[in-house]
Homo-oligomer: A and B are copies of this chain.
Amino acid sequence: VKIAVLGTGMVGRSLSSRLGELGHDVVIGTRDPQATLDRPHTDAEGDTSFADWQASHPDVRLQTFAEAAAHGDVVVNAVAGAVSAAVLEEAGASNLAGKVLLDISNPLDFSAGMPPTLFVKDSDSLAERLQRAFPQTRVVKSLNTLNAYLMVNPKELGVESSVFVSGDDAAAKAVVVELLTSFGHTDVIDLGDLSTARGPEMLLPLWLRLWGALGTPMFNIKVVR
Contact partners of A219 in chain B: CB under 8 A: 223-225
Confirm or deny: A83 has a beta carbon within 8 angstroms of a beta carbon on chain B.
no
A121 interfacial by beta-carbon distance below 8 Å: yes
A196 beta carbon closer than 8 Å to chain B = yes
A55 within 8 A of B: no
Which of A10-18, A21-29, A92-100, A187-195 lies at the interface? A187-195
Q: How far is the CB of A195 from chain B (nearest CB, A)?
A: 9
A156 to chain B, nearest CB (A): 11
Number of interface residues of A (CB under 8 A): 39
**A51 interface residue per 8 A CB criterion:** no
Complex copy number for this chain: 2
Considering residues A157, A192, A198, which has the most beta carbons from chain B within 10 angstroms of its beta carbon?
A198
Instruction: Point out which of A112, A157, A218, A223 has the most chain B C-beta atoms below 10 A from its C-beta.
Output: A223
Considering the complex, give the chain B residue whose CB is closest to the CB of A164: B206
A212 at the interface (CB under 8 A from B): yes
* A189 adjacent to B213 (CB under 8 Å): yes
Residues of B close to A207: CB separation below 8 A: 199
Say which residue of B191, B210, B223, B225 sits within 8 Å of A191 (CB atoms).
B210
Q: Tell whether A224 pairs with B161 under 8 Å between CB atoms, given A190-B213, A192-B213.
A: yes
| A118 located at the interface, meaning its Cβ lies under 8 Å from any Cβ of chain B in the complex | yes
Question: Which residues of B are found within 8 Å of A174, using beta-carbon distances?
Answer: none
- Top 3 A-B residue pairs of the complex, sorted by shortest distance between their CB atoms: A199-B206, A219-B225, A199-B209
Q: A121-B122, A196-B213, A202-B202 are in contact. List 18 more A-B contacts (CB 8 A).
A: A117-B123, A118-B122, A122-B205, A159-B224, A161-B224, A189-B210, A189-B214, A192-B209, A196-B212, A199-B206, A199-B208, A199-B209, A200-B206, A202-B205, A202-B206, A214-B223, A220-B225, A221-B222
